[in-house]
Amino acid sequence: PVLILLGPPGAGKGTQARMLEEKFGLVQLSTGDLLRAAVAAGTEAGQRAKAVMEAGELVSDDIVIAILRDRLAEADCAKGVILDGFPRTTVQAEALDGLLAESGQKINAAVSLEVDDAAMVTRISGRYTCGSCGEGYHDSFKQPAKPGTCDKCGGTEFKRRADDNAETVAARLEAYHAQTAPLIDYYAAQHALIGIDAMGEIDDIAGKLAAIVKTAT
């Protein structure tokens, strides 16, 4: 199936997409991760995206669509795809519909993770990831079992994102409400929208998503 995770920064899109990848073999495609990799590699797209991401604004549709199109073409999507952080504008949503139609596919479900803005600031400001495998953690909500050592790979280096500061988070939330939230109506009109309460425990939300994947296959 092709699933979309919609939701503001900090809603848990990345956390849940990684869990679905492990559980069902779906391929996680995160435009945020792809853009951060482009910035780190210093590609032309990365150079154009860097300042925009640091300001918490959306990278231009042409850059993001091109990156997503390339990654979609090379990924082994036989078991399905989970899109995390894409689409984020109506232009991107229309482009995605077109790309999928080329291979006779369509979106099975667009899941909107429903959360409170205030809680998102806490989630994002406590976030860090393993420098080796990318596993996500949180100062209060998700610590490694052995302090300082990644549960997944045993790595001991952790990092925090450049855009995870209070000022940029406010801009990211604003961009979400102005440019991305309209996609809720877009997918409701396609009868693909499923809203879930994403304020609970990580594992409970994962259970709801697993049920959605099972009915979509």
Write out the residues near ligand AP5 by the rule CB under 6 A: 7, 9-15, 31-32, 35, 52-53, 56-59, 64, 85-86, 88, 92, 123-124, 126-127, 136-138, 141-142, 172, 202, 205
Task: At 129, give phi and psi (nearest 5°).
Answer: -130, 160
The answer to whether residue 18 forms part of the interface with Zn ion (CB under 5 A) is no
The answer to whether the CB of 199 falls within 8 A of the CB of 120 is: no
CA distance 139 to 7: 21
- Nearest approach, Cβ of 76 to ligand AP5 (angstroms)? 22
Contact between 8 and 120 under an 8 Å Cβ cutoff? The reply is yes
Q: How far apart are CA 106 and CA 182, in angstroms?
A: 20
Cβ distance to ligand AP5 smaller for residue 104 or 201: 201
Cα–Cα distance measured from residue 13 to residue 205, given in angstroms and rounded to the nearest whole number: 11
Catalytic residue among 146, 161, 208, 214: 161
- CA atoms of 47 and 31, how far apart (whole Å): 15
Please say if 48 is a catalytic residue: no
Q: Tell me, what DSSP letter sits at residue 145? A: S
State the Cα angle at 17 between 203 and 187, rounded to 5°. Answer: 105
Q: Which of 34, 58, 150, 192 binds Zn ion (CB under 5 A)?
A: 150
Question: 81: phi > 0 → left, psi -120 to 50 → alpha, else beta; which?
Answer: beta
88 given a catalytic annotation: yes
Sole window of 26-34, 83-91, 155-163, 165-173 interacting with Zn ion (rule: CB under 5 A): 155-163
Q: Which of 159, 172, 208, 214 is catalytic?
A: 172
Question: Which of ligand AP5, Zn ion, none interacts with 155 (beta carbon under 5 to 8 A by kind)?
Answer: Zn ion
- Output the six-digit token pair for 105: 């596919």
Catalytic hit among 13, 18, 50, 123? 13
> Is 13 marked active-site?
yes
| Token code pair at residue 123 | 């989630």
Q: Does 56 bind Zn ion (CB under 5 A)?
A: no
Catalytic residues: 13, 88, 127, 161, 172
Binding residues for AMP: 31, 36, 57-59, 85-88, 92, 161, 172
Binding residues for ATP: 10-15, 127, 200
Write out the residues near Zn ion by the rule CB under 5 A.
130, 132-133, 135, 150, 152-153, 155
